[in-house]
């Protein structure tokens, strides 16, 4: 590996952390609590009827930790539980109207923070960066569970031709 490759990898690593910090900070500021609540709300918003098991795997939590998180979301009026249509033994989750409003606020805050960080790029640079990011995302996806993890804070309504979904197809 050449010295310039090491520098590029280091700069990209720092950029990834800066983006992640901004995204987490802004999303969590609109969530009912710090930690995985923002990710849980956006995932449930994208997949109404998401199972606790799928949510657990996407958030990398224990089963009991996921159940406690869902308990808090339900107690705060953000989500409801119901029997999964395909397996009545499994518990599924969907957002309430308040949960949908919270989900929109989380995604809006996330979008503003990322837009602010990307504002230093002109339109051509932004397009090129977006294309490279999509290519990198396609190379990172390994399983459906991994895709849920990668996209746990994504705004699915604006991600037309999602590179993560395309890679799994």
Domain locations along the chain: 16-168
Q: Two tokens at 25?
A: 């900070």
For residues 142 and 78, what is the distance between their CA atoms, to the nearest angstrom? 31
Nearby residues of 66 by Cβ (< 8 Å), 6 or more positions away: 52, 55, 56, 59
Q: Which fold has domain 16-168?
A: Arc Repressor Mutant, subunit A (1.10.10)
Per-residue pLDDT of the chain (169 residues; tens, 9 = 90+): 555 688 899 999 999 999 999 999 999 999 999 999 999 999 999 999 999 999 999 999 999 999 999 999 999 999 999 987 777 788 899 999 999 999 999 999 999 999 999 999 999 999 999 999 999 999 999 999 999 999 999 998 888 889 999 888 8
Phi and psi angles of residue 82, each rounded to the nearest 5 degrees, phi first: -155, 165
**Looking up tokens 């499994």, which residue turns up?**
90
């Amino acid at each position: 590996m050449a010295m310039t490759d090491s520098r590029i990898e280091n700069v990209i690593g720092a950029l990834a952390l800066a983006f992640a910090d901004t995204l987490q900070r802004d999303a969590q500021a609109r969530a009912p609590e710090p930690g995985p609540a923002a990710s849980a709300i956006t995932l449930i918003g994208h997949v109404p009827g998401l199972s606790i098991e799928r949510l657990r795997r996407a958030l990398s939590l224990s089963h009991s930790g996921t159940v406690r998180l869902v308990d808090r979301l339900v107690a705060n009026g953000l989500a409801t539980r119901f029997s999964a249509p395909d397996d009545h033994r499994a518990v599924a989750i969907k957002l309430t109207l308040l949960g949908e409003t919270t989900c929109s606020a989380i995604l809006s805050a996330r979008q503003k923070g990322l837009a602010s960080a990307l504002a230093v790029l002109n339109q051509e640079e932004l397009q090129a960066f977006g294309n490279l990011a999509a290519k990198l995302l396609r190379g990172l996806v390994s399983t459906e569970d991994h895709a849920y993890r990668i996209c746990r804070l994504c705004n699915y309504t604006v991600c037309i031709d999602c590179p993560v979904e395309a890679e799994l197809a």
